[in-house]
Amino acid sequence: MSDIKKVVLAYSGGLDTSVIAKWITETYQCEVVTFTADLGQGEEVEPARAKAKALGIKEIYIEDLREEFVRDFVFPMFRANAIYEGEYLLGTSIARPLIAKRLIEIANETGADAISHGATGKGNDQVRFELGAYALKPGVKVIAPWREWDLTSRETLMAYCEEHNIPVDFNKAGKKSPYSMDANLLHISYEGGVLENTWAEAEDDMWRWSVSPEKAPDVSTYIELDYVKGDIVAIDGVAMSPATVLEHLNKVGGANGIGRLDIVENRFVGMKSRGCYETPGGTIMMRAHRAIESITLDREVAHLKDSLMPKYAELIYNGFWWSPERLMLQEMIDKSQGPVNGKVRLKLYKGNVDVVGRQSEDSLFDASIATFEDDAGAYNQADAEGFIKLNALRLRIAAKKGRSPLE
């Protein structure tokens, strides 16, 4: 007899988590609570309620977390300009700490002593969910069915459904995608299928959120983003909430063929994995944020941020959002954003995001000094000679000692 009495399951309503709900009930002889989060994945989440009820679930949580997701997770990450391995905008990674947080909160509310998820034993998500859970509730038990059961394929899952009378009609409608996909307001990801051949080009009809750059409009689209303390607060003069900002940028970016990415990344568990990602709004946000920082941040602050960013991005990718080191870095990053206020104008055209204007009352750009015209004595060019000689001093001393850089 298991000592686990109640489990909170991260439940999508799909085949895997429906099987998991039943499997946990039978294997652990315990009650299951389902939690379904609306993170802007573009699909109705309410049908998950009927599916959970059909499985005999009595406590069902379905929550709209879109605003919290963008405000408290996506926006803080973009203040850091976080990119993993030079390309990936961390769309899946950044959703996991919020789901882990709510799993633990619901466990506390319902008196559950365990949580569960549908992540496989090969991927990063198992790590992200569980590191988050342990950081927020050290004694919580975790049930990870993909590491325990012998159901190793879609066929065995379907057979389990038939044996246990689990309704799967919602998986029969229409043609099943050959890809494993995950979506939220920041991105949609694709893995598996032909993508497991790293030489094969992704099929054009795979992409859901964007037109191909070749089919994008032949006329540029201009947009203006208003920033306050590093966050976008308005688009084209219209004030918007965080989630609305990202929804709007996804639409305009997708319409202009922006945000497609095909990469091979290094998973935390050790293997390489090929994934394709669509992040139209995030691609625009990254370009624009760096533009507003370029005129408002001190040089050394900007360079220090850039030097720490790979570590910050790695922490998020590996599941350490709730770690003390990420929280410490976030304090520093947020402090830097005080003067990051103003407006950025962008031109979107066939997959490209070009910055064509930036302005701020907090700008450190001084045209009277930087000008190529007569600066009326604002900058004494003769001062550069001493500056150069002082910086060259150690090089000159070493050269005199015969330490030639050509040897």
Q: Tokens for 301?
A: 């602050």
What is each CA distance from 256 to 166, 184, 211, 221, in whole angstroms? 42, 20, 7, 8
* Token code pair at residue 71: 């405000």
Residue 184 DSSP symbol: -
205 in active site? no
DSSP calls for 198-233: TTSPPPGGG-SS---GGGS-SS-EEEEEEEETTEEE
Catalytic position from the list 125, 182, 226, 231: 125
The burial of 302, by beta-carbon neighbours within 10 Å (0-12 exposed, 13-18 middle, 19 or more buried), is given as middle
Q: How many CB atoms lie within 10 A of CB 15?
A: 19
Q: Which uninterrupted H or E stretch holds 143?
A: strand 141-143
- The DSSP element (H or E) to which 292 belongs, if any, is helix 280-296
- Tell me if residue 96 is catalytic: yes
Active site residue 16: yes
DSSP 193: G
Q: Does 3 participate in catalysis according to the annotation?
A: no
Catalytic position from the list 16, 182, 226, 231? 16
Q: 221: burial class by Cβ within 10 Å (0-12, 13-18, 19+)?
A: middle
Q: How many CB atoms lie within 10 A of CB 88?
A: 21
- Of these residues, 72, 113, 180, 362, which one is catalytic? 180
Catalytic-role residue among 18, 38, 66, 96: 96
Output the CA–CA distances (angstroms, integers) from residue 100 to 127, 137, 183, in the order listed.
Answer: 11, 10, 17
d(CA 116, CA 103): 9
Residues annotated as catalytic (active site), given as ranges:
16, 96, 125, 180
